Structure 1
Amino acid sequence: MQTQYKTPEESRVVLSMLMLPSHANFSGKIHGGHVLSLIDQIAFACASKHSNNYCVTASVDVVDFLAPIEVGEMVTLKATVNYVGNTSMVIGIRVDAEDIKSGTKKHCNSSYVTMVAKDEKGNTVKVPGLKLSTETHVRRFAREIRRKGLKRESAQVMKATNFNADEYVEQLKNHKVELN
Protein backbone atom coordinates (compact mmCIF):
# COMPACT_ATOMS: atom_id res chain seq x y z
CA MET A 1 0.00 0.00 0.00
CA GLN A 2 1.36 3.40 -0.97
CA THR A 3 1.68 5.95 1.83
CA GLN A 4 -0.84 8.76 1.68
CA TYR A 5 0.12 12.32 2.55
CA LYS A 6 -1.91 15.34 3.61
CA THR A 7 -0.90 18.95 4.10
CA PRO A 8 -1.37 20.58 7.49
CA GLU A 9 -3.98 22.85 5.88
CA GLU A 10 -6.14 19.86 4.90
CA SER A 11 -6.59 18.96 8.56
CA ARG A 12 -6.59 22.45 10.08
CA VAL A 13 -9.52 23.23 12.36
CA VAL A 14 -10.60 26.65 13.67
CA LEU A 15 -13.14 27.11 16.44
CA SER A 16 -14.46 30.46 17.72
CA MET A 17 -16.84 30.95 20.60
CA LEU A 18 -17.97 33.63 22.99
CA MET A 19 -16.88 33.14 26.59
CA LEU A 20 -19.87 33.16 28.93
CA PRO A 21 -20.17 33.76 32.69
CA SER A 22 -20.76 30.01 33.10
CA HIS A 23 -17.17 29.46 31.87
CA ALA A 24 -15.66 31.71 34.58
CA ASN A 25 -13.87 30.79 37.78
CA PHE A 26 -14.29 32.57 41.13
CA SER A 27 -12.01 35.42 40.07
CA GLY A 28 -14.13 36.16 37.02
CA LYS A 29 -11.62 34.87 34.46
CA ILE A 30 -12.33 31.96 32.13
CA HIS A 31 -11.51 28.75 33.98
CA GLY A 32 -8.31 27.03 32.81
CA GLY A 33 -10.14 23.72 32.87
CA HIS A 34 -12.66 25.04 30.36
CA VAL A 35 -9.83 26.13 28.06
CA LEU A 36 -8.19 22.69 28.42
CA SER A 37 -11.48 21.03 27.48
CA LEU A 38 -11.71 23.17 24.33
CA ILE A 39 -8.08 22.33 23.50
CA ASP A 40 -8.80 18.61 23.81
CA GLN A 41 -11.90 18.91 21.63
CA ILE A 42 -10.14 20.78 18.82
CA ALA A 43 -7.13 18.43 19.00
CA PHE A 44 -9.56 15.51 18.54
CA ALA A 45 -11.22 17.22 15.57
CA CYS A 46 -7.92 18.02 13.86
CA ALA A 47 -6.40 14.57 14.42
CA SER A 48 -9.57 12.78 13.33
CA LYS A 49 -9.75 14.91 10.20
CA HIS A 50 -6.12 14.06 9.36
CA SER A 51 -6.38 10.33 10.09
CA ASN A 52 -9.99 9.74 9.01
CA ASN A 53 -10.37 7.77 12.24
CA TYR A 54 -11.48 8.21 15.82
CA CYS A 55 -8.57 9.54 17.91
CA VAL A 56 -7.73 9.54 21.59
CA THR A 57 -5.53 11.86 23.62
CA ALA A 58 -2.20 10.23 24.49
CA SER A 59 -0.52 13.21 26.15
CA VAL A 60 -0.61 16.94 26.57
CA ASP A 61 3.00 18.05 26.49
CA VAL A 62 2.95 21.79 26.81
CA VAL A 63 0.19 24.06 28.03
CA ASP A 64 1.32 27.63 28.51
CA PHE A 65 -1.29 30.01 29.89
CA LEU A 66 0.03 33.37 28.70
CA ALA A 67 -2.86 35.76 29.38
CA PRO A 68 -6.22 35.49 31.13
CA ILE A 69 -9.41 35.28 29.09
CA GLU A 70 -12.28 37.53 30.16
CA VAL A 71 -16.00 36.84 30.14
CA GLY A 72 -17.44 38.34 26.94
CA GLU A 73 -14.31 37.84 24.84
CA MET A 74 -14.40 35.88 21.59
CA VAL A 75 -11.96 32.97 21.84
CA THR A 76 -10.50 31.42 18.70
CA LEU A 77 -8.63 28.11 18.78
CA LYS A 78 -6.55 27.04 15.78
CA ALA A 79 -5.33 23.46 15.51
CA THR A 80 -2.80 22.11 13.02
CA VAL A 81 -1.04 18.77 12.61
CA ASN A 82 2.62 19.59 13.30
CA TYR A 83 4.05 16.06 13.32
CA VAL A 84 3.01 12.51 12.46
CA GLY A 85 4.42 9.16 13.52
CA ASN A 86 3.06 5.74 12.58
CA THR A 87 -0.18 5.94 14.54
CA SER A 88 0.15 9.25 16.37
CA MET A 89 0.01 12.92 15.55
CA VAL A 90 1.12 16.00 17.46
CA ILE A 91 -1.42 18.77 17.18
CA GLY A 92 -0.26 22.34 17.74
CA ILE A 93 -2.96 24.60 19.15
CA ARG A 94 -3.04 28.35 19.48
CA VAL A 95 -5.69 30.11 21.57
CA ASP A 96 -6.38 33.81 21.00
CA ALA A 97 -8.97 36.05 22.64
CA GLU A 98 -10.54 39.17 21.19
CA ASP A 99 -12.33 41.97 22.99
CA ILE A 100 -15.32 42.25 20.69
CA LYS A 101 -15.91 45.92 21.58
CA SER A 102 -12.39 47.22 20.91
CA GLY A 103 -11.15 44.53 18.53
CA THR A 104 -8.02 44.08 20.67
CA LYS A 105 -6.57 40.58 20.30
CA LYS A 106 -4.20 38.68 22.58
CA HIS A 107 -2.43 35.33 22.43
CA CYS A 108 -3.63 33.43 25.51
CA ASN A 109 -2.40 29.88 25.21
CA SER A 110 -0.20 27.53 23.20
CA SER A 111 -0.46 23.76 23.51
CA TYR A 112 0.87 20.54 21.98
CA VAL A 113 -1.35 17.47 22.19
CA THR A 114 -0.40 13.97 21.04
CA MET A 115 -3.34 12.07 19.58
CA VAL A 116 -3.47 8.40 18.54
CA ALA A 117 -5.70 7.08 15.74
CA LYS A 118 -7.93 4.08 16.53
CA ASP A 119 -10.19 1.82 14.51
CA GLU A 120 -13.70 0.66 15.48
CA LYS A 121 -12.23 -2.12 17.65
CA GLY A 122 -9.90 0.24 19.53
CA ASN A 123 -6.73 -0.88 17.75
CA THR A 124 -4.20 1.73 16.68
CA VAL A 125 -4.11 2.46 12.96
CA LYS A 126 -1.54 4.06 10.70
CA VAL A 127 -2.03 7.73 9.88
CA PRO A 128 -1.27 9.54 6.62
CA GLY A 129 2.11 11.20 6.28
CA LEU A 130 2.53 14.95 6.40
CA LYS A 131 3.26 16.92 3.24
CA LEU A 132 5.63 19.74 4.23
CA SER A 133 5.54 22.51 1.65
CA THR A 134 6.44 25.66 3.59
CA GLU A 135 9.21 26.76 5.90
CA THR A 136 6.65 26.95 8.73
CA HIS A 137 5.63 23.31 8.17
CA VAL A 138 9.28 22.18 8.24
CA ARG A 139 10.06 24.28 11.34
CA ARG A 140 7.07 22.87 13.26
CA PHE A 141 7.91 19.28 12.31
CA ALA A 142 11.61 19.73 13.20
CA ARG A 143 10.78 21.37 16.53
CA GLU A 144 8.54 18.44 17.37
CA ILE A 145 11.34 15.98 16.60
CA ARG A 146 13.53 17.97 19.00
CA ARG A 147 10.79 18.22 21.67
CA LYS A 148 10.23 14.44 21.48
CA GLY A 149 13.99 13.84 21.81
CA LEU A 150 14.23 16.08 24.87
CA LYS A 151 11.24 14.37 26.46
CA ARG A 152 12.80 10.94 25.85
CA GLU A 153 16.17 12.09 27.26
CA SER A 154 14.51 13.56 30.34
CA ALA A 155 12.55 10.35 30.97
CA GLN A 156 15.75 8.29 30.70
CA VAL A 157 17.60 10.56 33.12
CA MET A 158 14.78 10.44 35.67
CA LYS A 159 14.46 6.67 35.35
CA ALA A 160 18.21 6.07 35.63
CA THR A 161 18.74 8.38 38.57
CA ASN A 162 18.84 6.69 41.94
CA PHE A 163 17.14 9.29 44.06
CA ASN A 164 18.85 10.00 47.34
CA ALA A 165 17.13 12.84 49.20
CA ASP A 166 20.26 13.57 51.26
CA GLU A 167 22.03 14.72 48.09
CA TYR A 168 19.41 17.45 47.61
CA VAL A 169 19.16 18.86 51.16
CA GLU A 170 21.44 21.83 50.42
CA GLN A 171 19.50 22.64 47.24
CA LEU A 172 16.20 22.40 49.10
CA LYS A 173 17.33 25.10 51.53
CA ASN A 174 17.22 27.58 48.63
CA HIS A 175 13.51 26.90 48.14
CA LYS A 176 10.43 27.69 50.14
CA VAL A 177 10.40 24.52 52.24
CA GLU A 178 10.80 23.70 55.88
CA LEU A 179 12.92 20.67 56.70
CA ASN A 180 12.15 18.84 59.95
Structure 2
Amino acid sequence: MADPLVSEALKKAAVAWVSVDGGPALALWCMPIDDALYIVSGRGEQDAPGLAYAEEARVSLRGDHGGRIVTWPAEVTRVDPRSEEWTTVAPQLAAKRLNAPGTATALVERWAAECSVNRLVPAGDPEEPGDASEAAPPRESPAARPAKRPFRLHRVRGARR
Protein backbone atom coordinates (compact mmCIF):
# COMPACT_ATOMS: atom_id res chain seq x y z
CA MET A 1 0.00 0.00 0.00
CA ALA A 2 1.43 3.34 -1.06
CA ASP A 3 1.61 6.44 1.11
CA PRO A 4 -1.77 8.29 1.11
CA LEU A 5 -0.19 11.48 -0.29
CA VAL A 6 1.47 9.53 -3.11
CA SER A 7 -1.78 7.68 -3.86
CA GLU A 8 -3.76 10.91 -4.06
CA ALA A 9 -1.13 12.65 -6.21
CA LEU A 10 -1.02 9.61 -8.54
CA LYS A 11 -4.75 9.81 -9.19
CA LYS A 12 -4.48 13.38 -10.50
CA ALA A 13 -1.16 13.08 -12.36
CA ALA A 14 -0.95 14.12 -16.00
CA VAL A 15 2.71 15.14 -15.94
CA ALA A 16 5.48 13.68 -13.79
CA TRP A 17 9.08 14.79 -13.36
CA VAL A 18 11.11 11.61 -13.67
CA SER A 19 14.82 11.24 -12.93
CA VAL A 20 16.71 8.09 -13.93
CA ASP A 21 20.15 7.19 -12.50
CA GLY A 22 20.57 10.58 -10.82
CA GLY A 23 20.10 12.43 -14.12
CA PRO A 24 18.05 15.58 -14.56
CA ALA A 25 14.33 15.30 -13.91
CA LEU A 26 12.37 15.41 -17.16
CA ALA A 27 8.72 16.44 -17.43
CA LEU A 28 6.92 13.47 -18.99
CA TRP A 29 3.32 12.92 -19.96
CA CYS A 30 1.89 10.05 -17.94
CA MET A 31 -1.36 8.31 -17.18
CA PRO A 32 -2.35 6.86 -13.79
CA ILE A 33 -3.95 3.40 -13.85
CA ASP A 34 -4.44 1.28 -10.70
CA ASP A 35 -1.91 3.02 -8.38
CA ALA A 36 0.79 3.13 -11.06
CA LEU A 37 1.98 5.66 -13.65
CA TYR A 38 2.37 4.58 -17.26
CA ILE A 39 4.78 6.48 -19.50
CA VAL A 40 5.29 6.04 -23.25
CA SER A 41 8.70 6.95 -24.66
CA GLY A 42 10.71 6.27 -27.76
CA ARG A 43 10.76 7.12 -31.45
CA GLY A 44 7.96 9.52 -32.32
CA GLU A 45 7.06 9.96 -28.65
CA GLN A 46 8.59 11.81 -25.70
CA ASP A 47 12.29 11.42 -25.04
CA ALA A 48 13.08 9.74 -21.71
CA PRO A 49 16.75 8.68 -21.78
CA GLY A 50 17.39 5.52 -19.77
CA LEU A 51 13.80 4.95 -18.67
CA ALA A 52 13.08 2.06 -21.07
CA TYR A 53 15.65 -0.18 -19.33
CA ALA A 54 15.73 1.34 -15.85
CA GLU A 55 14.78 -0.62 -12.77
CA GLU A 56 14.21 2.39 -10.54
CA ALA A 57 13.56 6.11 -10.86
CA ARG A 58 12.72 9.15 -8.78
CA VAL A 59 9.31 10.73 -9.44
CA SER A 60 8.03 14.17 -8.45
CA LEU A 61 4.37 15.09 -8.77
CA ARG A 62 2.71 18.47 -8.58
CA GLY A 63 -0.38 19.63 -6.76
CA ASP A 64 -3.45 21.50 -7.95
CA HIS A 65 -1.59 24.81 -8.06
CA GLY A 66 1.45 23.55 -9.97
CA GLY A 67 3.93 23.25 -7.09
CA ARG A 68 5.70 20.03 -6.16
CA ILE A 69 3.89 18.18 -3.41
CA VAL A 70 5.59 14.79 -3.30
CA THR A 71 8.72 13.03 -4.52
CA TRP A 72 9.02 9.25 -4.26
CA PRO A 73 11.20 6.37 -5.41
CA ALA A 74 9.63 4.21 -8.09
CA GLU A 75 10.14 0.68 -9.33
CA VAL A 76 10.18 0.72 -13.14
CA THR A 77 9.04 -2.21 -15.26
CA ARG A 78 8.68 -2.31 -19.02
CA VAL A 79 5.30 -3.54 -20.24
CA ASP A 80 5.72 -6.41 -22.71
CA PRO A 81 3.63 -5.94 -25.89
CA ARG A 82 2.66 -9.65 -25.75
CA SER A 83 1.32 -9.45 -22.19
CA GLU A 84 -2.23 -9.20 -20.91
CA GLU A 85 -1.26 -5.95 -19.18
CA TRP A 86 -0.38 -4.46 -22.60
CA THR A 87 -3.79 -5.34 -24.06
CA THR A 88 -5.44 -3.58 -21.12
CA VAL A 89 -3.19 -0.52 -20.73
CA ALA A 90 -1.97 0.40 -24.23
CA PRO A 91 -5.44 1.16 -25.69
CA GLN A 92 -6.22 3.37 -22.68
CA LEU A 93 -2.97 5.27 -23.18
CA ALA A 94 -3.61 5.62 -26.92
CA ALA A 95 -7.09 7.03 -26.26
CA LYS A 96 -5.64 9.74 -24.00
CA ARG A 97 -2.67 10.58 -26.26
CA LEU A 98 -3.20 14.09 -27.64
CA ASN A 99 -2.46 14.92 -31.29
CA ALA A 100 -1.68 11.31 -32.13
CA PRO A 101 -1.12 10.58 -35.81
CA GLY A 102 -3.50 7.91 -37.10
CA THR A 103 -5.94 5.75 -35.21
CA ALA A 104 -5.55 4.45 -31.67
CA THR A 105 -5.08 0.91 -33.01
CA ALA A 106 -2.28 2.03 -35.34
CA LEU A 107 -0.70 3.95 -32.47
CA VAL A 108 -0.67 0.87 -30.22
CA GLU A 109 0.90 -1.19 -33.02
CA ARG A 110 3.61 1.44 -33.53
CA TRP A 111 4.32 1.53 -29.80
CA ALA A 112 4.69 -2.25 -29.75
CA ALA A 113 7.23 -2.10 -32.59
CA GLU A 114 9.19 1.08 -31.84
CA CYS A 115 8.50 2.43 -28.35
CA SER A 116 8.55 1.57 -24.69
CA VAL A 117 5.62 1.64 -22.27
CA ASN A 118 6.84 1.68 -18.68
CA ARG A 119 5.00 1.16 -15.42
CA LEU A 120 6.19 3.18 -12.42
CA VAL A 121 5.02 1.96 -9.01
CA PRO A 122 5.86 3.51 -5.63
CA ALA A 123 8.77 1.58 -4.08
CA GLY A 124 9.29 3.27 -0.75
CA ASP A 125 8.40 6.16 1.46
CA PRO A 126 8.19 9.64 -0.08
CA GLU A 127 11.14 11.94 0.42
CA GLU A 128 10.96 14.75 2.92
CA PRO A 129 10.20 18.00 1.08
CA GLY A 130 12.95 20.06 2.69
CA ASP A 131 13.55 23.71 1.85
CA ALA A 132 15.02 23.24 -1.61
CA SER A 133 12.91 24.22 -4.60
CA GLU A 134 14.75 21.71 -6.79
CA ALA A 135 15.23 24.48 -9.35
CA ALA A 136 18.29 23.74 -11.45
CA PRO A 137 20.86 26.46 -12.06
CA PRO A 138 20.90 27.82 -15.62
CA ARG A 139 23.00 25.78 -18.04
CA GLU A 140 26.08 27.26 -19.61
CA SER A 141 25.41 28.65 -23.06
CA PRO A 142 27.46 30.53 -25.65
CA ALA A 143 24.39 32.69 -26.22
CA ALA A 144 24.56 34.18 -22.72
CA ARG A 145 26.31 37.48 -22.38
CA PRO A 146 25.98 40.52 -20.15
CA ALA A 147 23.07 42.79 -20.99
CA LYS A 148 23.88 46.30 -22.18
CA ARG A 149 21.87 49.44 -21.64
CA PRO A 150 19.42 49.99 -24.46
CA PHE A 151 20.52 52.42 -27.19
CA ARG A 152 18.53 55.67 -27.41
CA LEU A 153 18.96 58.00 -30.31
CA HIS A 154 16.70 60.72 -28.97
CA ARG A 155 15.39 61.72 -25.66
CA VAL A 156 11.83 60.53 -25.00
CA ARG A 157 9.43 63.46 -24.79
CA GLY A 158 7.45 63.71 -21.65
CA ALA A 159 9.90 61.65 -19.65
CA ARG A 160 11.16 63.56 -16.67
CA ARG A 161 13.91 62.54 -14.40
TM band (smaller chain):
under 0.3
Q: Which structure shows the bigger proportion of residues in strand conformation?
A: 1
- Give TM-score scaled by structure 1 length: 0.24
